[in-house]
Structure 1
Amino acid sequence: MTSFDDRKDAYENKFAHDAELQFKADARCNKMLGEWAAALLGKTGAEATDYIRTVVTADFEEAGHEDVYRKLAGDLDGKADETTIRAKMAECMAEARRQVLAES
C-alpha cells in the first residue's frame, strides 16, 4: 500500500471511531435525560424504565436533538420550561461525553 492509502484508511477509521463514540454519548445523554424527566414526573420502577426507553427512542425520529427536546417539552409541560430542559440537555451531553471518553 502507498502512504496515501494508509492515510486514507487512518482517516476512515478515525471517522468511524468518532461516529461510534458520538452515538454512544447521544444514547447515554438521552438515557440521563429520561431518568431526570421520569423523576420529575414521579415515575418509578418499570414505569420509569419504560419512559426512559421512550426518550431514547425519540432521538431516532430525525437528525439532531430537537426530537428529544420536543418529547421532553411535551411531557414536562408545566414542570420544566425550555431554558431548564435545554440546560439539562447540555449538562447531560457534557457528562455523557466525559463518561464515554473515559471508557474508551
Structure 2
Amino acid sequence: MTTFDDRERSYEAKFAHDADLRFKAEARRNRLLGEWAAQMLGKEGEEARTYAMTVVTSDFEEPGEGDVLRKVVSDLDGKSDETAIRAKMAELLVEARRQILEEN
C-alpha cells in the first residue's frame, strides 16, 4: 500500500466522520429547538417531547433546514418571528455540537 492510498483512506474516513457528526449535531439542534418551541407553546412533559420529535422529523421533508424553520415559524406564529427563530437555531447548533463532542 502506498502513502497516497493511506492518505486517501484517511481523508475518506475523516469526511465520513465529519458528515456523521454534522448529521447528529443538526438532529440534536432540531430536538433542542423543538424543546424550546414547546416551552413557548406551553407544552410540558410528554407533550413537549412529542412536539420536539415532530420538529426533528420535519427535517426529513427536504434537504437543508428550511423545512424545520417553516414548521417552527408556523407553529410559533405570533409568539416569535423568523429572525429570532433563525438566531435560536444558530445558537442551538453550537450547543448541539458541544454536547455531541462532549459525549464522544
TM-score range normalised by the length of the shorter chain: over 0.9
Q: How does the TM-score come out when normalised to structure 1?
A: 0.95
Instruction: Give the drift of 1:96.
Output: 0.7
Alpha-carbon distance in structure 1 between the residues aligned to 2:61 and 2:41:
23
Alpha-carbon distance in structure 1 between the residues aligned to 2:75 and 2:12:
40
- The DSSP-based 3-state class of the residue aligned with 2:50 is helix
Deviations 1:30-63 (A, max 9, x none): 0100000000001112211110110000111111
Unaligned stretches of 5+ in structure 1?
A: none
Alpha-carbon distance in structure 2 between the residues aligned to 1:50 and 1:98:
24
Sequence identity of aligned pairs in percent? 66
Alpha-carbon distance in structure 2 between the residues aligned to 1:38 and 1:96:
18
- Residue 96 of structure 2 corresponds to 96
Amino acid at match of 1:13: A
Q: How does the TM-score come out when normalised to structure 2?
A: 0.95
Alpha-carbon distance in structure 2 between the residues aligned to 1:90 and 1:71:
16
Confirm or deny that 1:45 pairs with 2:45: yes
- Which residues in structure 2 correspond to 1:68-83 (within 5 Å)? 68-83=68-83
- Residue 61 of structure 1 corresponds to 61
Instruction: Give the drift of 1:4.
Output: 1.1
Amino acid at match of 1:87: A
